[in-house]
């Protein structure tokens, strides 16, 4: 299929006729903004055999790409608006792949209310895809990595480590339902868009990041940006029932590996101690676990580090914080 046929048949429907896309018939897309808003932008890029395998299937590849990009908007507390798509193709890609890719994008679009407004298509031996996503926030109302305060509590949404287990197939002790749960968590992460927006709306936080490289590595990013240390407790971190079962049965796995495993796309955020009850109420309203795992502290030696402690308050040595690019 040539580039123009692909665009016409598979990508144009994803614009839902939105005028920003200009029918995919111009050189540019055109985004209108309200005066009181700021445009938030993030880009993700994935390469075959590094970030995805062809055998995963185009539906999953596309879903994960757009979902993980949406997670960046979630960590800013932004509302998704639009995205543009970089698409590489070669003769080994059949039409089925392209149509499944488009179907994967559509399913995420439908869930998070955004649409495609442009992109570029190239031919290449190596497959790679890229999404640049655009969202909006009210002017000045954005979650940032740099705004944690000394004494703030550290919260994490959802459970940690499932996506890592899904990727690494620690499945021997699990039944089909549990296996599927972990695989779904890997391929279809849930960007915490609602949570990010509510934290801003309710003035509960102005500091967040999403867990893409690993809980420890991403928390360390907040520490370095906010110039604080973080003290967290391993026994406070929430693991799913399936993950707990793997941890019990599989001796090759440690909780520490799950904390540096990455791809969770949960949010880490800070909140003042006085707002603890409000966070509990928000957790109920969103039907999403929001777990306090520790606290930000002034850094005495300016290392801006994460300290992980066991149930007896002993320091756990961390060899690897997360995935490095």
Min separation Cβ 83 and Mg ion, Å: 16
Residue 24 within binding range of ligand ADP, rule CB under 6 A? yes
Burial class of residue 22 (count of CB atoms within 10 Å of its CB; 0-12, 13-18, 19+) = middle
Could you give the maximum distance between any two Cα atoms of the chain, in Å?
63
Residue 11 within binding range of ligand ADP, rule CB under 6 A? yes
- Residue 188 binding partner per list Mg ion, ligand ADP, none, with a CB distance cut-off of 5 to 8 Å that depends on partner kind: none
CB of 222 closer than 8 Å to CB of 148: yes
Min separation Cβ 58 and ligand ADP, Å: 14
Residue 26 within binding range of Mg ion, rule CB under 5 A? no
Closest to ligand ADP by CB, 123 or 150: 123
> Cα(256)–Cα(321) distance, rounded to whole angstroms?
9
The region of 19-27, 131-139, 219-227, 303-311 touching ligand ADP under the rule CB under 6 A is 19-27
Min separation Cβ 83 and ligand ADP, Å: 9
Q: Map residues 83-102 to x or -, x wherever contact with ligand ADP holds by CB under 6 A.
A: --x-x---------------
Considering only residues 119 to 158 of the shown chain, the ones binding Mg ion according to CB under 5 A are: 120
Closest to ligand ADP by CB, 7 or 108: 7
Distances in Å between the alpha carbon of 161 and those of 231, 254, 257? 19, 10, 8
Site size for ligand ADP, by CB under 6 A?
Answer: 12
| Residue 139 DSSP SS3 | coil
Q: Pick from 26, 56, 110, 248: which binds ligand ADP (CB under 6 A)?
A: 26
Q: What are the helix (H) ranges across 47-131?
A: 58-76, 95-112
Closest CA to 293 of 212, 230, 248: 230
**Whose CB is nearest to ligand ADP?**
119
String of DSSP letters for 189-207: ----HHHHHHHHHTT--S-
- Residue 74 binding partner per list Mg ion, ligand ADP, none, with a CB distance cut-off of 5 to 8 Å that depends on partner kind: none
Q: Which residues pair with 122 in a beta bridge?
A: 88
Residue 94 within binding range of Mg ion, rule CB under 5 A? no
Q: Which residues pair with 28 in a beta bridge?
A: none
Report CA torsion sign: 119, 87, 212, 158: positive
Min separation Cβ 7 and ligand ADP, Å: 5
Q: What does the binding site for ligand ADP look like in residue numbers (CB under 6 A)? A: 7, 11, 24, 26-27, 85, 87, 116, 118-121
């Amino acid at each position: 299929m040539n580039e123009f046929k692909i665009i016409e048949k598979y990508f144009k429907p994803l614009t839902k006729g939105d005028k920003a896309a200009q029918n995919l018939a111009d050189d540019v897309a055109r985004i209108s903004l309200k005066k009181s808003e700021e445009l938030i932008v993030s880009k993700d890029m994935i390469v075959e055999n590094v970030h995805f395998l062809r055998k995963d299937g185009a539906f999953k590849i596309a879903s994960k790409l757009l979902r993980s990009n949406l997670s960046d908007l979630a960590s800013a507390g932004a509302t998704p608006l639009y995205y543009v798509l970089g698409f590489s193709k070669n003769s080994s890609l059949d039409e089925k792949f392209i149509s499944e890719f488009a179907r994967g994008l559509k399913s995420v679009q439908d869930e998070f209310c955004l649409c495609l407004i442009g992109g570029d298509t190239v031919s290449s031996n190596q497959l790679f895809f890229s999404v640049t996503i655009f969202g909006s926030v009210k002017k000045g109302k954005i979650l940032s990595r740099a705004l944690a305060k000394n004494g703030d509590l550290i919260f994490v949404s959802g459970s940690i480590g499932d996506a890592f287990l899904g990727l690494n197939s620690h499945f021997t002790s699990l039944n089909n339902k549990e296996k599927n749960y972990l695989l779904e968590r890997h391929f279809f992460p849930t960007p915490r868009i609602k949570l990010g927006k509510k934290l801003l709306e309710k003035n509960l936080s102005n500091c967040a990041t999403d867990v893409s490289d690993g809980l420890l590595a991403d928390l360390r990013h907040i520490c370095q940006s906010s110039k604080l240390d973080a003290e967290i407790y391993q026994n406070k971190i929430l693991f799913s029932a399936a993950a707990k079962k793997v941890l019990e049965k599989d001796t090759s796995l440690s909780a520490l590996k799950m904390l540096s495993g990455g791809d969770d796309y949960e949010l880490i955020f800070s909140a003042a101690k006085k707002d603890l009850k409000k966070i509990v109420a928000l957790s109920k309203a969103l039907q999403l676990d929001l777990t306090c795992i520790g606290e930000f502290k002034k850094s005495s030696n300016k290392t801006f580090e994460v300290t992980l402690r066991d149930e007896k308050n002993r320091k756990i040595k961390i060899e690897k914080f997360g995935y490095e690019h």
